[in-house]
Amino acid sequence: MNDLSNELKALKPKIELELVSAREKLRQASTEVSRLETLLETVSLQISAPEKKGETLLDAEPKQVRERPPRELVLRDGSVRSMKHWKDLVVEVCRSLVADGLLTAADCPISKVGSSEKLVTIGRPNPSHSYTSPTEIGSGLMVETHGSAWELWERACFIVRRVGGKPESFGIVR
């Protein structure tokens, strides 16, 4: 019995070492599974995004006064936002820029050169400004959404360029 006890005592550290090794392999496998799942999701977004895009934000320029806005806006990450009105275009583009960290309070106020009209401000605009329809876009920022279809389309493109983005990175679905 003493020999069996000694053999078991000698075997115990080997089993413990094997258990530590197995746990480490399991942790590495779990990390690899997570990495592969993330990679698969990224690849899936890249595959589906071009099919949904078709046209870009630059192609959305309204040609007629009463032209309907695109039905959907495809964001840079491949997610889709439904649109009913032209103001939805500028709001969703700006919200996406805020979410991506491209549009921040440090960029504000945003206005066109030579114009006193503030397109994006921090918080509610001063009543003396010409804002007539400000909309919250996140992080305490507001965007002006009053304007014609062409003005709103042009505003969205201007803001994207102003923060260093490219309008063609956004897709549209008519």
| pLDDT, greater one: 6 or 131 | 6
Look at residues 57, 83, 54, 50 and name the one whose alpha carbon lies nearest to residue 161: 57
Confidence at residue 133, expressed as pLDDT on a 0 to 100 scale: 86
pTM attached to this predicted model: 0.67
| pLDDT tens digits, 146-165 | 999 999 999 999 999 999 99
CA 7 from centre of chain: 61
Quick one: pLDDT band at residue 143, thresholds 50, 70, 90?
very high
What amino acid occupies position 140?
Answer: G
DSSP-assigned letter for residue 112: -
Confidence at residue 64, expressed as pLDDT on a 0 to 100 scale: 76
Percent of the chain past pLDDT 90, that is, above it, reads 44
**Neighbour count for residue 82 (Cβ, 10 Å):** 11
Task: Kindly report whether the peptide bond that precedes residue 109 is cis, defined as omega within 30 degrees of 0.
Answer: yes
161 Cβ neighbours under 8 A, 6+ residues apart: 167
φ and ψ at 122, to 5 degrees? -90, 125
Quick one: pLDDT band at residue 52, thresholds 50, 70, 90?
very low
| pLDDT tens digits, 1-48 | 688 888 888 888 888 989 888 888 888 877 787 777 777 766 665 555
For residues 165 and 1, give the distance between their C-alpha atoms in angstroms, rounded to a whole number: 77
